[in-house]
Amino acid sequence: MMSRSWRDTGWAFALPWMIGMVTLTLVPMWMSWSLSLTRWDGLSLGGIEWVGLTHYRALIPGAPSTDERAIKAVTNTLVYTVLAVPLNLMAAMGLALLLSQRLRGMAIFRTVFFLPYMLSSVATVMMWSWLFNPKFGLVNRVLSVIVAPDALPGWLYSEFWCKPTLVLMHVWLCGGPMLVFLAALQRVSPSLYEAAALDGAGRWRRFWHVTLPQVSPAILFNLVIGLIFAMQTFDRAYLLYDRSQNHGLLFLMLHLYRSAFDAPHRIGYASAMAWVLFALITLMVVPILMMGRRVVFYAVRR
Amino acid sequence: MMRRSWISYGVLTLLAMVSLTPFVWAFATSLKPIEQAYEFPPTMTLEQARWSNYTDVFDKLPFGQFMLNSTVIALAAVTGAVLTSSMAGYALARLPLRGKRFWFALLVASLMLPSQVLLIPHFLMYEALGWVGTYKPLIVPAWLGGGAFNVFLFRQYFRSIPMDVEEAAVLDGATRWQCYRRVLMPMARPAVVAATVLSLLYHWQAFLNPLLYLSDFRKYPVSLGLRMYQTMAGTWVNLLMAASLIALVPMVVAFACGFRAFDPRRRGH
Amino acid sequence: MIRRLAGIVGWGLAIAAAGWWLFADTLAHYQPGLTRGSTDTTTIRFSHFGSYQDYALWEGVIAAFEQENPRVRVSQEYVPGWYGRYDTKIRQQILSGTLPEVALMQVAPFRGLVEHFAGVDRPIAGTIALTGLEAFTFPEDGTLRGMPVSGGNLLIYLNPDCVERASAFHGRPIELPSDDWTVEEFRQIARALTVDLDGDGQLDQFGFWLPRWLYYLPFIWSFGADVMVDGEWALTGSEAAAAFDFYRDLAVTHRVCPEPADVAQLIQDTGFLTGKVAMCVNGPWFQPFLNETSLKDRYIVMPMPRGPAGRRTRVTWDGLCIADGLPYERRDVADRFVKFCVSESAQRMIAETGRALPSLRSALPAFATDERRGRFVEALVYSRLQPMLPQFRNVDRTIHWQLYRWMHVDVDMSADAFLDDLARHDAIVEAFGVDR
């Protein structure tokens, strides 16, 4: 099928990206790996001191030299990711399905649901801490109609509720994945639905047997990206951390950032943490990608 | 059918109201004097609204210039990001390419490493190139693949388009570039819109890179401008909200236009 | 054929233009003479942090300097916001050898960075505030690492509306104490100002915002305690216990301080602004903020109350540092700029903003234009510097976190037990190296 002269056109198309990959990612990655084996305050290249795997040892739970704070940060991050990602995706999918109907005024609704995603994180965080204020916030005011005053959640100020609050925020910010789903839903040809309808398939079966396989590449994409981004949550944690009790919002990226950018500036240790984060994400993402190869429906199989 | 659409509208309106509540709050705050901005519960009435906050945003800072700068950076970066990432995605999804598995693994790996650790190497590199103080560190990376996120997005989308559409074009004597340009990109319009919108947003909101690479006040983007309302004593939250909402306007306009690509009525068949 | 040729030429031009755009700056970076013909003006860079008001202030100072020095240009590099991001940027510049010739630094948060700058010339004895010089003099080698240009000390701000409301509530006027008030009087007035105005069982107005971050230092000191003495951890003994007991009593026994959720995302300053808390500890930089509100002409500034060990407060200084290893010409301009910034005219500009005290003593009257501002100048006598330790931010954060836990979670712990616990905390052990 393929003519000879076409064999290596892939290179031509991917070249700019490959150049970027090597210069902007591979080289810095190698640098950060090397740095993770050193102690360095990030001020002069002469001040780098080789320490081998010491930093990684501090990140193994249960050892005498363990950085308990880091373990707590990993736990927080995992709990948050496991809660936030599925809920966020379900919300995004639900909205995308509603918004892809052939109805008037959908353009306005799409913009409305995308708005939260457009706002700067500073403003977002400010708005949320208002709404979820335990004593005066709108949310607890509404809740107080049905819930006893003592049972009202303390939201960001409570060790238990701080993560659910962030999860809710993440659900509210589902505009990104929603957009990807919307794009994917456009690819589903109406003729497939018509055929399914002729076969007498109900709405649920049409969703299950037509829509879902057709948008499965987008689901895989959103799941992988969602996991990666949730594991790397930083902005919101950075802005809200001081409100939380007992380090309830200490996420790994925040701990990493603080190690690197607060005195005594442990660039090496922060790099080691980045690689632990990398490993954790790999453990989550690789099985999903492997499974994806069997489950996801691609028109192009290669 | 009639009944179903009414249910849809009902559900959407309800959700929209919930989703917009924080914006009502933000808007109200942007109209208050600073001492009422933090008041619990809010007591302000509409007659007291301080519309002058919106002109203050422009009086106290060259906010118009910031908006213009952001626009220049975002447009230059997004063009490159969408072009190069769609090309790479096309190659990864549909073209013969040696070591494709390796490149794909690298793509995913580059997503998994937090960007913070790349800060120092990137800075040293751009400094060696003499690019610090210019827009290049903010724009050039976008022309080199435009971020793994976009490449991955396009790769997924291109893989969901059947091979035969391209083969038909090839039989008509089209080159690969013509296939990409005339056949696949038009078919991938929703993905192009999604990638454009998300990249636009990313560059519009980027904060740390402009902060590190730019030093001239007149070159600053909006994202830096928004931090200027923080003082040692506190934040001018009313001005911050007004400025945030102003900064939102170009995005909303761009997206409202872009979203028309998702309208089934406009889809050619 | 012609179309093809035009295509090739077009592409060639586009690639050439892109190449020029990409690498013209690189060329200029390595061969400055090539692109930017030599001129007789010397340009130096000056970087600083802060809000848009700080930008405007320095813009004015630079304009005045350039007017006096016609063949010199200062390019202003302004990093919006506070320390965190400024620190990141300066670090990158140190690492890549691209520090601006002059940078505004504050020793306390940036001590580790200030070390990387060259020293500045000592000013004529007695012209510059003593604590300012002390802040920038490093004991290791005695050099002056930066020229203090502006500073601020902490005093008590009082919201008159709160006094009025509390007076109405109690049915008798609450009298303001004399300037020579004691911590005991302070406690009494804080209690009187804490009221449940609408009688719903929840307090609506609190007497005092309990400072956690750094601002707790004046009280600790006035009880005779200190965080650090001669580089050693010093929050031990009966003075420290008394100081922290005073603190805990304010929050737990007398309930004059709001709990975090009582005031939502209000910070000390906005809590004060909205009349939620009647008193807070703050510096002169609070004034420009207050001056744009309805409290403008009415807020009251009180001296620090006197404790068992006398009257104390904390002062902090921002100073100008000069990059190391500059060629003579630029070093000369940098020196001239720094000297200009502590000259009478520049110091007056700083003083007039009301945001900070000038470091030049003869410019202090320009700051003390009214009674409230005068209090800050008077307080310089009993102001001292906070401990200068590279990890002080971590230490400070730990103290405030533990204090927070003590006041809201482990309420029944004694002050001695609290201090023992604190001294064993990993951040403290790490900073001071000794486990007690």
CATH of the domain at B174: 1.10.3720.10
Residues of A in contact with C265 (CB under 8 A): 126, 129-130, 133, 243
Q: What is the pLDDT of residue C395?
A: 85
Q: Which of A45, A243, A262 faces C394 most closely, judged by CB atoms?
A: A262
**E strand intervals along chain B:** 230-231, 234-235
| pTM confidence score | 0.88
- pLDDT tier at C302, thresholds 50, 70, 90: very high
- Rounded CA-CA distance B91/B158 in Å is 9
Q: What is the pLDDT of residue C333?
A: 94
Tell whether C360 and C393 lie within a shared domain.
no
pLDDT average, residue stretch C25-50 = 80
Q: What is the pLDDT of residue B43?
A: 66
Residues of B in contact with C83 (CB under 8 A): none
Residues of C in contact with A133 (CB under 8 A): 261, 264-265
pLDDT average, residue stretch A173-193 = 87
Between C369 and B257, residue with greater pLDDT: C369
Structure tokens that stand for C31 in this block: 């061969």
Q: What is the pLDDT of residue C87?
A: 86
Tell whether C416 and C275 lie within a shared domain.
yes
Contacts with B, A 176-235, CB within 8 Å = 176, 179-180, 182-184, 186-187, 214, 217-218, 220-221, 224-225, 228, 232, 234
- pLDDT tier at C339, thresholds 50, 70, 90: very high
Tell whether C119 and C51 lie within a shared domain.
yes
pLDDT average, residue stretch C92-106 = 92
Between B253 and A243, residue with greater pLDDT: B253
B208–C85 C-beta distance less than 8 A: yes
Q: Is the residue at C3 inside a domain? A: no
C26–B131 C-beta distance less than 8 A: yes
Average pLDDT over chain C reads 88
Query: What pLDDT digit, counting tens, does each position of B77-112 carry?
Result: 999 999 999 999 999 998 888 888 899 999 999 888
Between A268 and A245, residue with greater pLDDT: A268
Residues of B in contact with A20 (CB under 8 A): 84, 141, 144-145
Domain count, chain C: 2
- pLDDT tier at C25, thresholds 50, 70, 90: confident
- Rounded CA-CA distance B29/B239 in Å is 9
CATH number for the region A71-252+287-295 comes to 1.10.3720.10
Query: What pLDDT digit, counting tens, does each position of C315-333 carry?
Result: 999 999 999 989 999 999 9
Q: Which among A66, A71, A135, A139 is the top mutation candidate for probing chain C, defined by the most C β-carbons within 10 Å of its own β-carbon?
A: A135
Cα angle vertex A124, ends A120, A130, to 5°? Answer: 150
Task: Assess A248–C contact: CB distance below 8 Å, yes or no.
Answer: no
B140–C294 C-beta distance less than 8 A: no
Q: Is the residue at C37 inside a domain? A: no
Which of the listed ranges A127-131, B212-216, C208-212 does the model predict with the highest average pLDDT? B212-216
C289–B233 C-beta distance less than 8 A: yes
pLDDT average, residue stretch B229-246 = 83
C355–B38 C-beta distance less than 8 A: no
Q: Is the residue at C88 inside a domain? A: yes
Domain count, chain B: 1
Q: What is the pLDDT of residue C212?
A: 65
Tell whether C271 and C205 lie within a shared domain.
yes
A101–B5 C-beta distance less than 8 A: yes
State the residue range of the domain holding C171.
155-314+389-432
Q: What is the pLDDT of residue C264?
A: 55
pLDDT average, residue stretch B40-64 = 81
CATH number, domain containing residue C229: 3.40.190.10
Nearest to A220 by CA among A117, A114, A293, A302: A293
Q: Is the residue at B171 inside a domain? A: yes
Between A178 and B173, residue with greater pLDDT: A178
Q: What is the pLDDT of residue C35?
A: 52
State the residue range of the domain holding B69.
62-266
Return the percentage of chain A with pLDDT > 70, whole number: 96
B163–A300 C-beta distance less than 8 A: yes
Tell whether C141 and C161 lie within a shared domain.
no
- Rounded CA-CA distance A260/A41 in Å is 8
Task: Assess C282–B contact: CB distance below 8 Å, yes or no.
Answer: yes
Q: Is the residue at B145 inside a domain? A: yes
Nearest to C379 by CA among C252, C284, C308: C284
Query: What pLDDT digit, counting tens, does each position of C221-279 carry?
Result: 999 999 888 888 888 889 999 999 998 888 888 888 887 666 655 666 778 888 888 99
Looking at residue B9, what DSSP letter applies? Answer: H
Q: Is the residue at B34 inside a domain? A: no
B152–A115 C-beta distance less than 8 A: no
Q: What is the pLDDT of residue C436?
A: 40
Q: What is the pLDDT of residue B86?
A: 95
pLDDT average, residue stretch C158-173 = 93
Give yes or no for residue C185 having a pLDDT over 70: yes
Residues 6+ apart with CB under 8 A from A108: none
Average pLDDT over chain B reads 86
Q: Which of A45, A126, A263 faces C394 most closely, judged by CB atoms?
A: A263
Q: What is the pLDDT of residue C265?
A: 55
Q: Are A126 and B237 in contact (CB under 8 A)?
A: yes
Give yes or no for residue B69 having a pLDDT over 90: yes
Query: What pLDDT digit, counting tens, does each position of A37-90 carry?
Result: 999 888 888 888 899 888 998 888 887 778 888 999 999 999 999 999 999 999
Q: Which of B87, B125, B205 faces A14 most closely, judged by CB atoms?
A: B87
Return the percentage of chain B with pLDDT > 90, whole number: 37
Q: What is the pLDDT of residue A3?
A: 47
- φ, ψ at C266 (rounded to 5°): -60, 135
Tell whether C350 and C252 lie within a shared domain.
no
Tell whether C282 and C378 lie within a shared domain.
no
Q: Which residues pair with C357 in a beta bridge?
A: C151
- Rounded CA-CA distance C276/A279 in Å is 48
Helices and strands in chain B, H and E counts: 15, 2
- Rounded CA-CA distance A251/C408 in Å is 23
Give yes or no for residue B268 having a pLDDT over 50: no
Tell whether C350 and C375 lie within a shared domain.
yes
Query: What pLDDT digit, counting tens, does each position of B36-50 carry?
Result: 776 656 666 777 788
B20–A112 C-beta distance less than 8 A: yes
Q: Is the residue at B43 inside a domain? A: no
Q: What is the pLDDT of residue A302?
A: 54
Q: Is the residue at B25 inside a domain? A: no
Task: Assess A64–C contact: CB distance below 8 Å, yes or no.
Answer: no
Q: What is the pLDDT of residue B266?
A: 45
Decide: residue A120, CB within 10 A, 0-12 exposed, 13-18 middle, 19+ buried. buried
Q: What is the pLDDT of residue C148?
A: 95
Chains that touch A (3 or more CB pairs under 8 A): B, C
SS3 A248: coil
- pLDDT tier at C34, thresholds 50, 70, 90: low
For residue C310, how many other CB atoms are within 10 A of its CB? 12
Q: Is the residue at C108 inside a domain? A: yes
C261–A44 C-beta distance less than 8 A: no
Give yes or no for residue C337 having a pLDDT over 70: yes
- Rounded CA-CA distance B23/A117 in Å is 12
Task: Assess A281–B contact: CB distance below 8 Å, yes or no.
Answer: yes
Give yes or no for residue C435 having a pLDDT over 90: no
A157–C260 C-beta distance less than 8 A: yes
Q: What is the pLDDT of residue A211?
A: 87
B96–A8 C-beta distance less than 8 A: yes
Q: What is the pLDDT of residue B88?
A: 95
Among the listed ranges A241-255, B78-92, B244-258, C373-387, which one has the minimum average pLDDT value?
A241-255
Residues of A in contact with C393 (CB under 8 A): 262-263
- Rounded CA-CA distance B33/C198 in Å is 25
Tell whether C197 and C97 lie within a shared domain.
no
Query: What pLDDT digit, counting tens, does each position of B109-126 carry?
Result: 988 888 888 888 899 899
B216–C26 C-beta distance less than 8 A: no
pLDDT average, residue stretch B168-196 = 89
Q: Is the residue at C27 inside a domain? A: no
pLDDT average, residue stretch C85-104 = 90
Residues of B in contact with A98 (CB under 8 A): 8, 11-12
- pLDDT tier at A2, thresholds 50, 70, 90: very low
Query: What pLDDT digit, counting tens, does each position of C116-143 carry?
Result: 899 898 888 889 998 999 999 987 788 8
